[in-house]
């Protein structure tokens, strides 16, 4: 019998945008490093730790509704929240501690994609 395959990690998440320049400015202001593409490209890739956050352009005739939320673990939720504010972004929530053991905040990108940035609370960290 062949062993079952396991899911080891997420390689990339790809989000659609109507305006690559606007989307890239948003993600660069949050601190995502650009790996590939740029404001004039139809596809761009940004680093998200050991994975990628990809952006692909879709025509303005294509609309989407709420699809879910991407959650990124970060080293310091409060520092990233301050970075977003300094970059002129308006997070949906202030950083807060959740009952499930994480500190987090939400922000919506210019195309309506919901992002959450979280870190385990000190009492939940191993060691």
Nearest by Cα to 37 from 46, 28, 48, 47: 46
Model-level pTM? 0.79
Mean pLDDT across the stretch 30-45? Answer: 95
Residue with tokens 């004039």: 40
Per-residue pLDDT reduced to its tens digit, 107-120:
999 988 899 999 99
Whether 82 and 30 have beta carbons less than 8 Å apart is answered as no
pLDDT of residue 123: 65
Average pLDDT, the chain: 88
* Sheet (strand 43-48) strand order: 12-17, 51-57, 43-48, 34-36
Is the per-residue pLDDT at 64 higher than 90?
A: no
pLDDT(4) > 90? no
Which backbone phi and psi does 81 adopt, to 5 degrees? -60, -45
Q: Which domains, from first to last, does the chain contain?
A: 12-58+66-124 (3.10.180.10)
| Vertex 96 angle, CA 91 and 100, to 5° | 120
Tell me the mean pLDDT in the region 2-7.
64
């Amino acid at each position: 019998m062949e062993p079952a395959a396991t899911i080891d990690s997420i390689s990339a998440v790809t989000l659609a945008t109507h305006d690559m320049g606007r989307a890239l400015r948003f993600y660069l202001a949050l601190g995502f490093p650009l790996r590939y593409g740029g404001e004039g490209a139809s596809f761009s890739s940004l680093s998200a730790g050991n994975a990628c956050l990809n952006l692909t352009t879709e025509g303005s005739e294509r609309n989407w509704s709420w699809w879910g939320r991407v959650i990124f673990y970060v080293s310091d939720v409060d520092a990233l929240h301050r970075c977003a504010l300094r970059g002129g972004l308006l997070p949906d929530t202030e950083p807060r501690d959740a009952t499930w053991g994480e500190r987090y905040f939400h922000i919506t990108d210019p195309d309506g994609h919901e992002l959450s940035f979280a870190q385990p609370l000190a009492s939940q960290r191993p060691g």
